[in-house]
Structures are given as structure tokens and as C-alpha cells.
Chains A and B, each alone.
Chain A
Amino acid sequence: MKIRLLEIAHGRSGDKGDAANIGIIAYDDKGYEIIKKNLSVSRVKKHFNEICFGEVERYELPNLRALNFLLHNTLGGGGTVSLKHDAQGKTLAAALLRMEIEI
């Protein structure tokens, strides 16, 4: 069965220079196992094809049932240099939650 990540997780994103940070939090332990299994570095990098032009780093925060991703070279230069409408990557957590996964 296919579900959207949005159904089992929430999150928040922001900027760290030209990198975007995306924290994804599962609503329960089962959800955390699903996001841990499905949200690999390569899957996230592929999802953000033509948005993230750099490396993707992935970190686990099991106590919070959360994963944190750093997407380098993503915000068009970051800060006030960026010409992007979403120069701070505020909407990228929602963009990741669009992902459809098989469960």
C-alpha cells in the first residue's frame, strides 16, 4: 500500500547558510521505523532532484522519533544573496512530506 509521508509524520525546515535543514518527526514508534527505513540519503537526494545540488546528510534522533537532513547547496546562495522565493527553505519540510512510500 502506498501512503504519503504526511500521513505518518510532521516536521519543520529552515536554513543554515546555503544548506536547508529538514527535521521529520514520526507521530509514533511504528512511523519512526517506517521513516528510518524509507528515508535514506539517496532517496531524499533523488526526491529533491533539481532543488538540492549538493550532498545530503542524514541524522537520527530516536528519542524524538525524528530524522534530520541537511541538504547542501540548496537555497540559491542562502541569506539575502538568494533570489529564491523560499530563500530560507521554510517550505521544504512540507516538500519532503509529499513523498509517497510503500508500506
Chain B
Amino acid sequence: MKDKIKIASGQGFWGDLINAPYVQVTQGKVDYLVMDYLAEVTMSILQKQKNRNPKLGYAKDIPELMKRILPVCQEKGTKIITNGGGVNPIACAEAVMEVAKNLGINKLKIAVVLGDDIKERIDEIVNSGSGLNNMDTDEPIVTVKGKILSANVYFGALPIVEGLRAGADIVITGRTTDTGLTLAPMIYEFGWDKTNYDLMSAGTVAGHILECGAQSSGGNFLGNWQSIPNMAEVGFPIAEAYPNGEFIITKHPNTGGRVSFETVAEQLVYEIGDPEVYITPDCVADFTSIKLEDLGGDRVKVYNIKGKKATDFYKVSCSYASGFSASANLTYSWPQALSKAKAADEILRKRLENLKLSFEEIRTEFIGYNSCHGPLSKEIDEDNINEIMLKVAVRSQDYDSIERFGKEIAPLILTGPPSVTGFAGGRPKPSEVVAYWPALIPKVLVKPEVKLIEL
């Protein structure tokens, strides 16, 4: 058993700094590189790609990234864990194998976690008595039958642990909790008992701190943000974990950013509900138990973490098609920039009304004035504001109404208030609205499966 492992966060979402994983594995020695690629919206996008081409449906950045990092990871013995397999983890693993072959690597084992995709099983699951009711509204899932784009169960750390025990160098999963990616290597390396819920919670908390990449090492820091050094070369966080459940959050030396009590605390309170009940498939962690000690030198000790037994349910995230939306911007300049933008909005709304189009919502925001803080925004002195961007967005189940809206924007330039600019790129196009259906499913109804692919 190792007495310490280093787990490095490589991506906080799909679209994060492309170079970050490379920096994490080259700037120092880490045992694991963990990369979270899956926001909720990502699953439906990937499902659409897979529908068009059965070889797609995973984070396409991964093969390209592997070209750069695999040789280093092989040399240093760094294992890679990612949920970037999306809705097609097997195809992702095959693409990575292809990269490895082309690099001349002759020994590689990839574990693929399957079984989270229940899109084709919904009827069967509903028939077995689990209604997959919406967690927020309690409506049964049949309400959106025929519109479902994707349906995936959130697995935890255990299937990844199984892959690591089978000797995997890389574990690629579909929908796995972000926290499970970090907890898994701790369970595996330290031989943790999965019913020791304090330890499960410790690894889960470490996962929560790593899952958004640099958001715990100085990024998006609302404290004294100007004091954070060298954000251009920000170091992503690393958890230095110990068998007793304590860990230190740090980053590689000679990178930018900062790891402090404040930067870690901001990430701990990010996207949480009741802090005593942080539910994952692995445990229910108590975030109120967490203690932080700023050791200085970009090192923060995290300890005293408590937790309880996991629930008997997995969370399911379904996405379904729910109409269309479009959004348009026009910029008005001084003098009376805000008054002009407001007048343009009134003209536009009157025209839309005359056209008798059908909208669920028409939303107007004045960027530069109230789009972030709404009515909390202070009255502005129009003499001192140089420009305001008018943003109007619409949503409807009716495609034609959204498309027609798009044709009413450019005319405002010649048939509305003066000193207007910023209309480029053609008419706003309708985009599909993807809505979410969070549900619970009894764990007994789903079984994760781990498949090994070897070179």
C-alpha cells in the first residue's frame, strides 16, 4: 500500500484549457490524472453525434490529448481516469488504442465502464415499477416519452476501482460522478473499505475540490482576485492524499494561480445544497465537518471529514427536446444609450405582437446595465454610459415563431432608434432547447459493467 498518492485535475469541463493535462503530467510527478468532461448538456450533444455516426459520442479532444500525454504517462507511471467516454466510452477507448499504436506503445490496458446508458431501457424500468419521476416536479417520465434524447445513470467510484484492480492504465467511463473519478484511486491505492463512509466522504470532498479544475486554485476567485498571480499560466489543483483520509490541495511549483483557504473554500461551497447531505452513489458526505488548514506555499490541508452510508438510489439524468429558442443582440451608443435600447425593445415587442407569434417567453436584458443583477442594478447616468447592448431572447415550442423572430432584428437598424451597431453574422437561428429530467432509480435495477481492452 502506498503511503501517499498525488491526483491531478486535468479538466474542469469539456472546453477547459487544452494544455492543462499536459502541464499536470509533465511539470512534476503525479500518480493519477483525472479529467471531468461531462456537464449535463454535454450528454445530449454527444448522443446526437452518436446518432449521426455510431463511432462518435465521446469527448473528441481525448485522442488528440492522448497523443501528447500518453508517452509521458507511460514513462512516469501516471494513470488516467476520465468520464470523457460520454455516451460511447468503447469508441473512445478504441480511438485511444489507435493513438497508442501509432505512438509505438506496445503495452496498454484500458478499462471501460459501461451500463450507465439506460435510454433504451426506460420502458422496461417504468414497467418494473420505477416511474423515473422528475425529482423536482414529481411528474412521471411518460410525460416526455418520445422526446427523450439521452438517459444516463450517475455511477460512482466503484466501477473505476474495479478497472484499476484489473490493472488498467487508463479508465474511461460514461456518466460517472465527477467526485468518483478522484475517490476511486484512493479506494484502490489505500485499500479503503467501501463501507467506511468517512473515508468515502473524504475522497468525495477531494473530488469536489478537483472537479472544476482551476476554480480551486485561483480561477473565478471572488475574494481579492487581483492578487492572484500569473493566471495566464495557472496551475490546476492536485490532491496529495493520505490513507487516513486527510489530503492536501496544492499545485505544481512554478505555475500561476494560488491555493489558499479562500480559494479552496470558494470551491467547497460551489453548487452545493444542504451541506450536511451531499449525496453521491458512494456516500452521503457532510460538508459541515470539513476543516481546512492553510499551510502556506500553496498548500491547504483538508481533514476531519465525516459522512454516512450511501442511499439505495442512483441519480439519473435524462435530457429531452423541449422546443426552440433564439437570441439577438444590438448595441446602442451614447447619447441616451439605455433609452434607445429600451425604445428598440418596445418597437420589437409591438411588431412581434402584431405578427401574432407564439412564445413561451420573451426576455429582454440590457447588457452593461442589468443583465447580471437585474433590479439590484443602480440607476445609471446616461451621460456617463457609452453604450448598452440590447439582448432579446425568445423560446417557443413553435419553430416558425422562433425563425420569424430572427427576421425582425436587423430591420430595427433602419426602422428604430439611432446610433445602433453590432448586428453581424446574419439572422439569429433557432436552436433546439434541451431540458433536463432528473430522476432516481433503485441501484438494484442497474449494473455497471467493466470491460478491458488491451494492447
Interface residues in chain A, defined as those with a beta carbon under 8 Å from any beta carbon in chain B: 10-19, 21, 23-25, 27, 47-51, 57, 59-66, 68, 70, 76-81, 83-86, 91-95, 97-98
Contact = CB atoms under 8 A, between A and B. Distances in A.
For B266, B290, B371, the residue with the greatest tally of chain A CB atoms inside 10 Å of its CB is B266
B374 A81 contact: no
Q: What 3 A-B pairs are tightest by C-beta distance, nearest first?
A: A23-B269, A83-B393, A10-B223
Contacts, number: 134
A84 B361 CA distance: 11
B266 A85 contact: no
B438 interface: yes
A85 B292 contact: no
For A16, A68, A76, the residue with the greatest tally of chain B CB atoms inside 10 Å of its CB is A68
B374 A63 contact: no
B266 A12 contact: yes
A60 B289 CA distance: 11
Interface string B240-277: 00000000000000000000001001111111111110
A16 to B, nearest CB: 6
Contact of A83 (B275, B376, B394): B394
B372 interface: yes
B365 A80 contact: no
Contact of A16 (B262, B271, B287, B291): B271
B136 A61 contact: no
For A60, A64, A91, the residue with the greatest tally of chain B CB atoms inside 10 Å of its CB is A64
B393 A68 contact: no
B395 A84 contact: no
Contact of A95 (B290, B322, B376, B434): B376
Interface residues of B, number: 50
Given A23-B270, A63-B291, A83 B363 contact: yes
B40 interface: yes
A81 B374 CA distance: 19
Interface of B: 40-41, 136, 215, 220-223, 262, 265-276, 287-292, 304, 322, 325, 327, 361, 363, 365, 367, 371-376, 391, 393-395, 433-436, 438
B213 to A, nearest CB: 14
A80 B274 contact: no
A83 B325 contact: yes
Nearest to B435: A81
A23 B266 contact: yes
For A10, A11, A49, A80, the residue with the greatest tally of chain B CB atoms inside 10 Å of its CB is A80
B123 to A, nearest CB: 25
A57 to B, nearest CB: 7
A79 B269 contact: no
A64 B290 contact: yes
B266 A76 contact: no
Contacts of B395: 81, 83
Given A64-B292, A83-B363, A83-B395, A10 B273 contact: no
Contacts of A79: 40-41, 434-436
A12 B218 CA distance: 12
A85 B272 contact: no
A85 B365 contact: yes
Nearest to B370: A85
A62 B113 CA distance: 38
Nearest to B363: A83
A81 B433 contact: yes
Given A17-B136, A91-B372, A64 B269 contact: yes
A6 to B, nearest CB: 9
B423 to A, nearest CB: 18
Contacts of A81: 322, 395, 433, 435
A83 B322 contact: no
A66 B372 contact: no
Given A83-B395, A95-B376, A17 B436 contact: yes
Contacts of A98: 373, 376
A21 B268 CA distance: 12
B288 A12 contact: no
A12 B41 contact: no
A51 to B, nearest CB: 5
B342 to A, nearest CB: 16
Contact of B269 (A12, A19, A94): A12
A63 B289 contact: yes
